[in-house]
Structure 1
Amino acid sequence: MTTTRRAGAGLATIACAGLTGFALAAPAGAATPDAGTAGSFLTAQLAAGGDHFSTSAGGQSYPDYGLTIDAVLALDAARVGQQGAGRAAAYVSKNAASYNAMGSDLYAAATAKLLVFAQVQGLPSAGYAGQLRSLQQPSGQFKDKSAYGDYSNTIGQSLGVIGLQRAGTPNAAATAFLLKQQCTDGGFRISFAGACTSDPDATTYAVQALAASGGHAAAIGKAAGFLAGKQTANGGIIEPAAGPTPNANTTALAAVAFTLAGNPAAAAKAKAFVAGLQYDCSFPAALRGGIAYDRKAFDAQKAKGKASTAIDSDRRSTSQAVLGLTGTPYLTLTAGGSASAPSLACGAPAPTGTPSATGTATGTATATSTTTGPPIITDGGTTGTGNSAFVVGGAAAVGGVALASAGLRRRLRRR
């Protein structure tokens, strides 16, 4: 008899031969990975951080507004944890100017993200839409207005297209500029300057923006084909800028893109990969429901045993992974759902059979993980034509803006 069940984060095949008089029971750590229990991890982490997440640079800690937004949107997609999401949303709204502006400087990607965030939460958003339009160039590009250079990129451009579409003011010029970033292999580049080198993360956001705009089936099909070419046998997607192996962030975003492109098989494989990185009942309670960045990160937490605690990459990967598990695009995402989030049910199961007096086990059981992969070296990078020294050294001056968003890839490389 051969059965397949979730064991840890991998898909384990249990081969059993000649078992007589016994029925196999599910292990005590078995639980179905899902977006709802990931929400439990996020709400606990937000509460521990004072209703927001933080990042550090130069020995100092700064509010990470971009990551906090990602967590709020994840809770909305999962339809859970709305009390915690509401408190975090209020924190972001109160401090929004510290995220997308500094003095007379105004940042395109952060402004676009705030626009979508406010729309999802049902908060006033017209001001962000106006700010975004003020940054638009004759070419259609949403460009940073900053003395320190331009860090605008395809992800921010895509969010801008989605936000203005949600506002009921479609922007054809912005969409046309986005389409010009598509490379010959079907993918989209992250930076507007230099050679056209496709980036999986940028491509996933571009697919969402083009789907929101409508009428771009051919471009979406080519982009989805590029992503499918990056999908490994275990369903994960490789982001070359982050390392040579699949990660949960990129794969989750790709799952949404595959769904929008009409490729349910690729979407299902991507979701299975992400679900395979969720911390189950064999981990300490504070980690359960969270989703590791990649296989190496998962195994490292597993090796720590009871001493394992949530780290920065756990919060980042879980925040983006939830959207992939639900398959929810930014265009249709809305706030709402249950006030709290469900925790993993980790009680020991009752036996499913009674051993006979003479029953003996005459076979052996083996388990083989099929979700493996080498480590990711980094989980993000800086892009654009601005002064990168300022991004590293001037974080205090911008209140963490340059470090604020995993989703916008305007962070320092992390090792």
Structure 2
Amino acid sequence: MHVTVRRVLVPLTAGAVVVGGAALPAQAAPDLLKQSAVKAAQWQSRQLNANGVVYNPQYQVVDWGLTLDTLIALRATGVKPAVVKKSTAYVAGHVRSYNSFDDWGQQGVRLAGPTGKLLYVAVATKSNPRKFGKYNLRAESLGLMVKSGPDKGRFKDRGTTDNSNTFGQSFNVLGLARSGGVPREAVTFLIRQQCKAGGFRLSPNQFGTPAPTCDKATKPVLDPDSTGIAVQALLAAYKAGDKPAGDAARKGALWLKRIQRKDGSFGGSGPTAASNTNSTGLAGQALRAVAATKLVTPKTAGELRQAANRAGHWVRTHQLTPANAGKARPDVGAIAYNRAALRTAAEDGITQVTRDQWRRATPQALLVLARVSLADIGR
């Protein structure tokens, strides 16, 4: 049995949107999006355990990355400040559990992506990035940056196989730009992952065809998710004084606008190419962030805001509400990864098996609803 989603929000005209069959003024739409973001964040906060972390019962481990995603979502919406404080303190006491292999008995490993994400969360939660628990995360991030050669400016894993990518590069740039300044070479390396069309590749070593720039790679795959976070990292660098970063951010946002699907959604690349709320949340957040700057003309800014609103409305139709939740009513506020997940939850509820996907989809999807850039969360 398929359950019809009764509450639908779609663009009607430039001056109105439709919510559950009723037309509302366009200016009311942002408030609806923010309300949905708050409800999603409230649900996400309940996925934290008594210590303030997300625990994965299947593997019997703390999911540190998802815990940080949850903290970002809570800070973006202003939800549960006491929970944020408790969770942040617990994370600060377990830095090496996330950015190293110390817990597994392998000393000397440092992971660039997790280090950058920890640094960013320290800034977003208004913690001291130079003394986060026992660690100077800013110094650790800079210590993982390549100082010379073709990878100059790249944040790379140390002591293990390097799996650094554009997400990790972006989090390091975000964290450094917002905690005292980011080296020009780090921004330059991130810009080199942008192809002429405007999109960013996920990894400099994508599919075993390393190349110094995106345009020189063999058939590079441009990734909307990587582009969404790279645009916001470059905006942070631009706000910190790096003017070329602003040009790259604008170019990335215009590429996202061009590839947006007619229903307002985005897909990722490879196995996530179909429309999903994770990709749509991050891309829409980037569109709105650039629209709020002077990097584009007023006309283009308006078009980017409309595109961001369309992305937000699409995400909102994937949120569990009292009208569409069915057996998933206890989880009202959560955001489904895609339409199939929404239907299944209404029919069967969110089960222990399916809950992990919901916990991963919701914090990133709600970013487009919260209407605040990664460059500004926590300011």
- TM-score, normalising length: structure 2: 0.76
Question: What is residue 182 of structure 2 aligned with on the other side?
Answer: 170
| Residue of structure 2 in register with 1:113 after alignment | 117
Residue aligning to 2:231: 207
Higher RCO, 1 vs 2 (CA within 8 Å, ≥6 residues apart): 1
Residues in 2 aligned to 1:145 and 1:307: alpha-carbon distance in whole angstroms: 38
Aligned-residue offset at 1:157: 0.6
Change (3 A) 1:331 1:267: same
The secondary structure found in structure 2 opposite 1:106 is: coil
CA contact (8 A) 2:51 2:86 kept: no
CA distance in 2, matches of 1:305, 1:66: 25
Q: Secondary structure at the match of 2:83?
A: helix
Q: Distance in 2 between matches of 1:288 and 1:315?
A: 13
Whether the 8 Å contact between 1:42 and 1:290 is mirrored in structure 2 is yes
Question: Which of the pair has more CA radius of gyration?
Answer: 1
What SS is found at the alignment partner of 2:264? Answer: coil
Q: Which residue number in structure 2 is paired with residue 152 of structure 1?
A: 164
Aligned pairs for 1:78-227 within 5 A: 78-102=77-101, 103-126=107-130, 127-137=136-146, 138=148, 139-147=152-160, 149-193=161-205, 194=209, 195=217, 196-214=220-238, 215=243, 216-227=245-256
Q: Cα deviations across residues 169-190 of structure 1 (Å, max 9, x unaligned)?
A: 2211100011111112210011
Percent of aligned positions that are identical: 31
Residue 8 of structure 1 deviates from its aligned partner by 4.1
Paired residue for 1:370?
none
Q: 1:293 aligns with which of 332, 337, 347?
A: 337
Instruction: Report how many residues are paired.
Output: 313
Q: Which residue in the other structure is 2:212 paired with?
A: none
The answer (yes or no) to whether the contact 1:189–1:202 under 8 Å persists in 2 is yes
- Contact 1:10–1:277 (CA<8 Å) still a contact in 2? no
Structure 1: tracts of 5 or more residues without a match: 1-5, 17-29, 336-415
User: Which residue is equivalent to 1:72?
Assistant: 71
- 2: CA distance, partners of 1:221 / 1:89: 33
Q: 1:91 to 1:241 in 2, by over 3 A?
A: farther
Q: Partner letter of residue 139 of structure 2? A: G
Does structure 2 retain, via aligned residues, the 8 Å contact 1:234–1:269? Answer: yes
Aligned to 1:259: 288
CA deviation after TM superposition for structure 1 residue 297, in Å: 0.8
> What TM-score do the two structures reach when normalised by structure 1?
0.70
Looking at structure 1, the residues matched to 352 and 155 of structure 2 have their Cα atoms a distance apart, in angstroms, of 42
CA contact (8 A) 1:52 1:68 kept: yes
Q: Assess, with a 3 A threshold, how the Cα gap between structure 1 residues 308 and 8 changes in structure 2: closer, same or farther.
A: farther
The 5 A counterparts of 1:266-277 are: 266-277=307-318
Give SS of 1:185's match. Answer: coil
Q: Distance in 1 between matches of 2:33 and 2:63?
A: 31
Deviations 1:243-277 (A, max 9, x none): 34211111111111101222101111111111111
Distance 1:304 1:172 in 2: 51
Contact 2:7 2:19 in 1 (8 A): no
Partners of 2:71 and 2:284 lie apart in 1 by 19
Match for 2:173: what amino acid? V
Specify the SS of the correspondent of 2:196. coil
Cα distance in 2, alignment partners of residues 307 and 165 from structure 1: 40
Mapped contact 1:8–1:279 kept (Cα < 8 A): no
**How far did 1:50 drift?**
4.7
- Bigger drift between 210-219 and 291-300 goes to 210-219
Secondary structure of the corresponding residue to residue 290 of structure 1:
coil
Q: Partner of 1:405 in structure 2?
A: none
**1:10 & 1:253 partners in 2: Cα distance?**
19
Tell me if the contact between 1:204 and 1:257 (Cα under 8 Å) persists in the aligned partners: yes
Task: Give the Å deviation of 1:212.
Answer: 1.2
The equivalent position to 2:265 in structure 1, one of 236, 242, 246, is 236
Shift of 1:45: 1.6
Displacement of 1:51 in angstroms is 2.2
Distance 2:334 2:277 in 1: 11
Which deviates further from its counterpart, 194-203 or 151-160?
194-203
SS at match of 2:61: strand
- Whether 2:52 is the aligned partner of 1:51: answer yes
Once residues 330 and 121 of structure 2 are traced to their aligned partners in structure 1, the CA distance between those partners, rounded to angstroms, is 27
Matched, 1:35 2:34: no
Structure 1 position 242, deviation (Å): 3.2
The C-alpha deviation readout for 1:8-31, integer Å capped at 9, x for no partner, is 466689889xxxxxxxxxxxxx99
Change in Cα spacing, 1:150 to 1:129, as seen in structure 2 (3 Å) is: same
Structure-2 separation of matches of 1:87 and 1:201 = 30
Contact 1:181 1:188 in 2 (8 A): yes
Residue type of the alignment partner of 2:204: F
Contact 2:174 2:233 in 1 (8 A): yes
One-letter amino acid matched to 1:86? K
